[in-house]
Amino acid sequence: MKVLVSEQIAQKGIEKLTQEGVNVDVKPGLPREELLSIIGEYDGLIVRSNTKVNEELYQKAAKLKVVGRAGNGVDNIEMEGATKRGIIVVNTPESNVVSAAELTIGLLFATCRNIPQLHNRLKERLWDRSGLKGMELQGKTVGIVGLGRIGSLVATRLKSFGMTIIAYDPYISDTRFQKLGVEKKETLDELMSQCDILTIHTPKTEETYGMIGKEQFKVAKKGLTVINCARAGLINEAALMEALKAKIVKRAGIDVLEGEPHATSPLLEFDNVIVTPHAGADTVEAQDNVGITVAQEVVSALRGEMVPNAVNLPTLPVQELDVIQAYLRLGEIMGKMYYQLEKEAVEKVEIIYQGEVASLETPVISLAILKGLFEPVLKERVNYVNAQLIAKNRSVKVTESKESTADNYLTLITLKVMSKGKVFTISGTTFAKGEPRIVEINGYEFDVNPTPYMLIAENIDKPGVVGQMGTLLGAGKVNIATMQLGRNFTDQQAMMVLAVDSEVSRETLQFLSGIEGILRVRFVKI
Ligand SMILES: NC(=O)C1=CN([C@@H]2O[C@H](COP(=O)(O)OP(=O)(O)OC[C@H]3O[C@@H](n4cnc5c(N)ncnc54)[C@H](O)[C@@H]3O)[C@@H](O)[C@H]2O)C=CC1
Ligand SMILES: O=C(O)C(=O)COP(=O)(O)O
């Protein structure tokens, strides 16, 4: 496993990667051309906010399997290009939020009390407070746009300063607002017209980019303080400068600049604007957290394991990870069986979750099933990230349903694969310690512990067939580990599932197919 770290991350993160056997190259500040010329050698790439991970890079990154964002915002990573190539994108959304919230509050104090300006005067050996009277926070109203992780940390902290907190976030429930003791504003204009301090904490998306512009400053209270510790461009920089000149905005604290990284922003011309170079996550604690977390995630992704913070996968609560792993394994095995047993193109896939499994994050189990389903025909080109897209591109309709109970089982997954005029079914459950069990194939009932090599045969239910199977496998030097029979009394047919210790040659398979009473025999590899 070879990983390139293209920006500075904590040493603890690098150590973690090395301990896990990863071959790491740390090259912060690598010129773009050089990055593009070497990225083809790497399985993983770890970035912060400066590296643009886009189509240009993906086209040169033939081996890339994972992009780790050592931080929160992923707006520098093009998701579509990653997803269609099956590249998993992971980030560390929780690891630096306290630092970002604390810098927001730091900028608020610094701007409201002119701390950097006063400090600069003293550095010039001037004892002079004139013209730099500050503003108290107590009794003021702060307007938060985006009441997510960082927005809510800012809200709870500012409450202790005796401030009124209002927020605009149409995607947050009323209950959450009440829990945080924050007054909900239905429109951005309403918030703009009521707050003394504006702080924004949304992600950068098509919807939020430029959401605070000329029109919003028109309805703002005169003398507004503006803080942006989220992303450049959420507050239009040109509109902000106009509002500063028109004295609508009295002061601003900005951590993120259009076109960063650069030290030439026109905002630097304003004495009442404090600018920091995207330092929100730059604390020892946040960087250690971020570095270690991203290293763990990248290693897991490279090993093909499920990663809780995968951005281009369904979200997976960390507490469900252990339980769900067993179902992922089961789902993948069930999916893998289809193309090894049937040769008909899939048209529709129906997945039914019953009992305990129905209460879990099932979309990710469905991905495991789809991954398994397509793997025998697409090999390593299919993974959790692109499995759904592959189904869509092959016009395979996928439906999922849930029932809270299952007949005879505590938990059960049933996969129905519809092809032209045919329905293939397979059901599985998990036992204690998460062991997978196949309990049904095409109506035949079993209790099979799936093993790497299996033979699955359909036969006429009559004496002698099983014995001949054993004899011919023995002659082919294939050892049988276990054997199970599922019987269908209505049409006198049966299905045999044999776990064998080694691969079965084509020749042996042909002999097995020739046994009188054998209708069909297939070798299945898990
Ligand atoms: N300056 C720095 O170094 C750092 C900056 N950040 C940035 O801080 C921002 C916030 O991060 P988190 O709190 O972790 O994100 P989050 O995803 O937890 O919260 C974002 C909130 O914005 C809301 N939102 C989305 N669209 C909206 C809209 N149109 N109007 C109003 N609200 C909207 C969402 O509902 C959500 O509640 C992100 O842009 C992130 O990249 C994060 C860490 C460090
Ligand atoms: O985590 C984030 O979203 C940040 O903005 C931090 O960016 P950085 O990793 O410090 O370049």
Q: 226 in helix, strand or coil?
A: strand
Closest ligand 1 atom to residue 234 Cα is 39
Which CATH number characterizes residue 398's domain? 3.30.1330.90
445 flagged as catalytic: no
ipTM score here? 0.99
Which CATH number characterizes residue 511's domain? 3.30.70.260
Please check whether residue 308 lies inside any domain of the structure.
no
The per-residue pLDDT for 380 is 66
329 flagged as catalytic: no
User: Do 67 and 38 share a structural domain?
Assistant: yes
C-alpha to C-alpha distance for 317 and 314, rounded to whole angstroms: 10
User: How many CA within 13 A on the CB side of residue 203?
Assistant: 12
The per-residue pLDDT for 177 is 95
- Say whether the peptide bond before residue 450 is cis (omega within 30 degrees of 0): no
Please check whether residue 34 lies inside any domain of the structure.
yes
Q: 86 in helix, strand or coil?
A: coil
Please check whether residue 86 lies inside any domain of the structure.
yes
Distance 14 CA to ligand 2 centre (A): 18
Ligand located closest to 49 CA: 2
Distance 431 CA to ligand 2 centre (A): 43
Length of the chain: 526
Closest ligand 2 atom to residue 71 Cα is 1
C-alpha to C-alpha distance for 446 and 124, rounded to whole angstroms: 84
User: Do 467 and 434 share a structural domain?
Assistant: no
Contacts of 469 (CB under 8 A, 6+ apart): 455, 457, 496, 498, 512, 515, 518
């010129």: which residue's tokens? Answer: 31
Ligand located closest to 229 CA: 1
Which CATH number characterizes residue 197's domain? 3.40.50.720
Write out pLDDT tens, residues 125-171: 999 999 999 999 999 999 999 999 999 999 999 999 999 999 999 99
Distance 208 CA to ligand 1 centre (A): 10
Q: Which of 414, 442, 470 is the last residue of a domain?
A: 442
User: How many CA within 13 A on the CB side of residue 64?
Assistant: 28
Which residues line ligand 1 at a C-beta cut-off of 6 Å? Answer: 72-73, 93, 96-97, 100, 145-151, 168-169, 171-172, 201-204, 207-208, 211, 229-231, 255-256, 278, 280-281
Handedness of CA 187, 192, 194, 198 (dihedral sign): positive
User: Do 34 and 23 share a structural domain?
Assistant: yes
- 48 CB less than 6 Å from ligand 2? yes
The per-residue pLDDT for 84 is 86
Give the pTM.
0.81
DSSP assignments along 343-411, one per residue: -SPEEEEEEEEEEGGGGS-HHHHHHHHHHHHHHHHHGGG--TTTHHHHHHHTT-EEEEEEES-BTTBSE
Please check whether residue 307 lies inside any domain of the structure.
no
Alpha carbon distances (Å) from 141 to 79, 88, 435 = 37, 42, 56
Please check whether residue 204 lies inside any domain of the structure.
yes
Please check whether residue 33 lies inside any domain of the structure.
yes
């990284």: which residue's tokens? Answer: 261
Q: 38 in helix, strand or coil?
A: helix
User: Do 389 and 240 share a structural domain?
Assistant: no
Q: Residue 62, class by beta-carbon neighbours within 10 Å (0-12 exposed, 13-18 middle, 19+ buried)?
A: exposed
The number of domains in the chain is 4
278 flagged as catalytic: yes
pLDDT-flagged residues of the chain (< 50): none
3-state secondary structure 173-209: CHHHHHHHCCEECCCHHHHHHHCCEEEECCCCCCCCC
The per-residue pLDDT for 118 is 98
β-bridge pairing 346-355 and 397-403: parallel
Range of the domain at 163: 97-275
Q: Which of 396, 411, 442 is the last residue of a domain?
A: 442
Note whether 36 and 4 are within 8 A (CB).
Answer: no
Please check whether residue 295 lies inside any domain of the structure.
yes
- Token pair of 274, please? 């404090």
User: Do 423 and 493 share a structural domain?
Assistant: no
- 69 CB less than 6 Å from ligand 2? no
